[in-house]
């Protein structure tokens, strides 16, 4: 049997009353149809991370282990002031190696822009971290109207078609990059 690919889903919001919970619930249900992926949900609130940039802090190491184990990622990101959240940037910047040579997909949400401005900025960040961002993203505008607290999507629009496209691309890149990293460790940062 083929080995499962490990996909980490990362919460992009730590705000009290966050809509992110609904979006992650929706995503979890949709991912249940992808038996080739083992899903790990990573919520920064489940870690007592220090306020300082301390990658060797025990809680940061616990988070790093989870990121290292992942073969690919889906970031669930809202848009805050035309960008993404400070909590997500803090998590991303804590480590470099866990992102290297891995694919990153996005499920985004917000007001009229549906969170896409946050995604465009994240693409720049992940280029610096030697990661590959997936072209298609799933975007929800006004998710507080479209998703109920259990993550049930009332008005799917083209979300399911976009999700299927994103997952096809993510699967291709995850398989390709697992094979590439097995063949030889990522060497892009060698002096």
Contacts to ligand FMN by CB under 6 A: 13, 15, 18-20, 78-82, 110-113
Nearer to ligand FMN, 103 or 110 (CB): 110
Q: Least Å distance between CB 14 and ligand FMN?
A: 8
Whole-angstrom Cα distance, residue 162 to residue 180? Answer: 27
Tokens (6 digits) for 33: 């149809």
* 72-78 and 37-42 beta bridge pairing: unpaired
Spatial CA neighbour of 137 closest among 77, 87, 187:
77
Nearer to ligand FMN, 72 or 78 (CB): 78
Whole-angstrom Cα distance, residue 5 to residue 54? Answer: 29
Nearer to ligand FMN, 147 or 178 (CB): 147
Q: Least Å distance between CB 23 and ligand FMN?
A: 7
Q: Least Å distance between CB 111 and ligand FMN?
A: 3
């Amino acid at each position: 049997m083929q080995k499962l690919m490990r996909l980490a889903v990362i919460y992009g919001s730590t705000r009290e009353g966050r809509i992110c919970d609904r979006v992650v619930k929706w995503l979890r249900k949709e991912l249940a149809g992808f038996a080739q992926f083992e899903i790990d949900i990573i919520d920064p609130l489940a870690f007592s991370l220090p306020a300082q940039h301390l990658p060797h802090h025990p809680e940061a190491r616990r988070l790093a282990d989870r990121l290292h184990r992942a073969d690919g990622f889906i970031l669930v990101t809202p848009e805050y002031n035309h960008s993404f959240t400070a909590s997500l940037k803090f998590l991303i910047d804590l480590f470099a190696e866990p992102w290297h040579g891995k694919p990153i997909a996005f499920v985004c949400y917000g007001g009229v822009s549906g969170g896409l401005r946050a995604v465009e900025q994240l693409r720049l960040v992940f280029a610096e971290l030697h990661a590959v961002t997936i072209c298609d993203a799933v975007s929800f505008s006004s998710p507080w109207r479209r998703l109920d607290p259990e993550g049930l999507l009332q008005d799917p629009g083209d979300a399911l078609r976009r999700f299927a496209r994103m997952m096809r691309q993510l699967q291709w890149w995850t398989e390709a990059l697992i094979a590439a990293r097995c063949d030889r460790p990522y060497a892009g940062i060698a002096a």
